[in-house]
Structure 1
Amino acid sequence: MSPRQITVLGECVADAFTEPASTPSELALRVLPGGGPANTAVSLARLGTPARFLARLSGDVFGRLFRAHLEASGVDLSSSVPAEEPSTLAVAELDAQGQAAFSFHAQNTADWQWTAEELARVDLSETACVHTGSLALVQEPGAAAVEDFLAAAATRATISIDPNVRPLLVQPHVYRARLAHWCALADVLRLSEDDLELLLPGTPPEQACDTWHAAGARLVVITRGADGALASLDGERLKVPAVRTSVVDTVGAGDSFTAGLLHHLGTRGFLGGRLTELGLDDVAEACVFAARTAALTCSVAGPNPPWQSQLGSQLEQLATAERA
């Protein structure tokens, strides 16, 4: 079955990675297009799902980089908004394990200025799923308009949310205050174990899943890095092991996992409603595919998810590595 369109709403971020400079008084940066929702849209499109991205794209040098990257990956930008404000910049430093620590330059940038009028123009008649998350849900002044858009979209589409907590920009208590409302809107809640610790400190993952089920989310998936993922469907749980790979960095891995999950659910015809036909075996298959997609992203530098045409050979390489 060909997957139906998934509409992704959220930010584009210029990820500037530090690199060795010629003198101690210089700082060299390598800039890649990023941002959690943008990464997810790119990954979906490369996997073969029709992906439309709702973004406010600046006309500055970073905005032009975003547009070129998204269009080259096959993302539909027809509903994006040309923005007068500057783009968001994040400077990233990688540790020995490839984990990135970010510092953000995001005050009054284009991504957070959504208005109800802009979002009212979006036609969702061909959309099976709306995915959003990260800063677009909490950064004012646009956060309230985004929430209202999700509430309207929930009458016709599956809703997927990734909180992607960024404590350097927004305090975790802001996310905590809104999370129950997001769960009431969401059919799919995907988050990392780092998000879990910031949202419900000290809470076992299984208990957290039950809390979010009670608030309304039907499928909760917590990704746990090298420990794989925990998926919970209305309280029925399963664990999916991580896929062994040679890690260059982990930037964009969670976004690729989300894309792999939604792509697989879409190709099986589950998206477009409240996931009422979804079973635990279906979740297991989707999570295995998502884990492999994330592993392939970790095997290259930056948020560079795999293309559908590459999946066969690359997945076979991963399978060989797992058996070794």
Structure 2
Amino acid sequence: MKIFIFGEAMLEYHSLGGAGLRYGGDTLNTAIHMARRGLDVAYVTAVGTDPISDALVRAWQDEGIDVTHVHRHPDRSPGIYAIHLDQAGERSFLYWRDHSAAREMFALPAMAATLEQAQTCDLVYFSLISLAVVGDSGQRMLLDLARTRKAAGRAVAYDSNYRLRLWPDAAQAQAVSLAAAGAATLGLPTNVDEHQLFADDIPETGIAARWHDAGCPEVIVKAGERGCYHSMDGQTAGFPVEPVSVVDSSGAGDAFNAGYLHARLTGADRDRAIAAGQRLAAETLGHLGAIQVGGQRQAG
């Protein structure tokens, strides 16, 4: 079983400190969680040829990620972001990513082979952040991949992680996100992202309906402390969660996605898969950072 995850990974600086090489990014978080659970995950991105890029690739490989498709840009380097936590564990970000190598990943010659191999893998996963950083040409190529796979009956998962500063205006982000929803077989939006993206406050059932209207057959709307809502074949079910103490909210949605996808890919039904996603999200809320340093890999 092979999963291709497309996105941008960056160096991370945290307001609460922490020694050593730190890194993060929404799709990378999901890739690490899935790799730690024994899945064969290829992360698709670009970094530089500098020593820090070398260290990042080694660290991801040590996590069990297939780094064959981490491409090298001769003139660019990884982006950087800083996280600040408030007293409730909610985060805010600062970014330095204008020169990020990931922005040019689809222009690199080696990407042609990556896209060819991704056509027939078991799952392709990406986010709205993935689409934002790669520009118009990269968006077309990634969405073409998703549409071709969907037409062939192959799985495509999409999360509409929205970062306002990555887009020239909300209208463009809305159009791209709806196109991605239409190209996906599984949608994994979060209510907060959707409310910010579309400047509305519609309920989770309305968010799911919007994704269905775009062409996405299965949708799970993550709703923070209220759990999540699954919608498919005209049926919507809510899945509450037990309250947890929040240390850091970074990466909880990415963890849910990983837990759910891992469970489904290894044979679990919907209810058990959602429970797995919620458990992993709760674990992530209980420690500093999106990924627990020194986490243990599990057998498949």
Q: 1:198 — aligned with what?
A: 196
Q: Which residue of 2 aligns with 1:131?
A: 125
Q: More displaced, 151-160 or 10-19?
A: 151-160
Report the counterpart of residue 250 of structure 2 in structure 1.
Answer: 251
> For 1:143-194, what per-residue CA distance to the aligned partner results, in whole angstroms no more than 9, with x for missing partners?
2322223233333520001121011222432220112211221011112121
Matched residue, 2:45? 55
Contact 1:55/1:80 (<8 A) preserved: yes
The residue aligned with 2:220 is 221
Alignment partner, residue 180 of structure 1 = 178
- What are the residue-to-residue correspondences of 1:87-98 with 2, within 5 Å? 87-98=78-89
Question: How far, CA to CA, are the matches of 1:64 and 1:235 in structure 2?
Answer: 48
Partner of 1:296: 283
Task: Give the direction of change, closer, same or farther, for the CA distance of 1:145–1:237 in structure 2 (3 Å limit).
Answer: same
Q: Distance in 2 between matches of 1:83 and 1:303?
A: 26
Q: CA 1:132 to 1:46, structure 2 compared with 1: closer, same or farther past 3 Å?
A: same
Q: Distance in 2 between matches of 1:235 and 1:175?
A: 27
Please list, as runs of the form range in 1=range in 2, the aligned pairs for 1:64-79 lying within 5 A after superposition.
64-79=54-69
Counterpart of 2:2, as a letter, is Q
Alpha-carbon offset, residue 248 of structure 1: 1.9
Quote the offset at 1:91 in angstroms. Answer: 1.2
Deviation, structure 1 residue 29? 8.7
Structure 1 unmatched runs, 5+: 21-27, 270-281, 311-324
Secondary structure, aligned partner of 1:77: coil
**1:165 counterpart letter in structure 2:** Y
Question: The residue matched to 1:121 in structure 2 has which SS?
Answer: helix
- 1:247: Cα distance to partner? 2.4
- Equivalent residue for 2:259? 260
- 1:152 paired to 2:148: yes
The 1-side partners of 2:285 and 2:174 are apart by 29
Report the Cα distance in structure 1 between the residues aligned to 2:52 and 2:163, rounded to whole angstroms.
21
| Alignment-derived partner of residue 162 in structure 2 | 165
Residues 192-234 of structure 1 deviation map (CA, whole Å, 9 limit, x = unaligned): 1211102332222211211211211111111111111111113
- Distance change in 2, residues 1:61/1:97 (3 Å): farther
Deviation at 1:65, TM superposition (A): 4.0
Amino-acid identity (%): 23
Aligned to 1:9: 6
Contact kept? 1:16, 1:30, Cα under 8 Å: no
SS at match of 1:247: coil
Specify whether residues 29 and 102 from structure 1 end up closer, same or farther in structure 2 by C-alpha distance, changes over 3 A only.
farther
Structure 2 vs 1, CA of residues 173 and 30 (structure 1 numbering), >3 Å: closer, same or farther? farther
SS of equivalent residue, structure 2 residue 173 = helix
Native 8 Å contact 1:251 1:302 kept in 2:
yes
Deviation at 1:45, TM superposition (A): 0.4
1:119 aligned to which of 104, 108, 111: 111
Distance 2:298 2:130 in 1: 31
2:71–2:105 Cα contact (<8 Å) kept? no
Whole-angstrom CA distance in 1 between matches of 2:50 and 2:239: 42
Where do 5+ consecutive residues of structure 2 fail to align?
none
CA RMSD of aligned residues (A): 2.3
Query: Quick one: distance in 1 between partners of 2:237 and 2:57?
Result: 38
**Count of aligned pairs:** 288
Query: Contact 2:38/2:298 (CA < 8 Å) preserved in 1?
Result: no
> Which letter maps to 2:284?
T
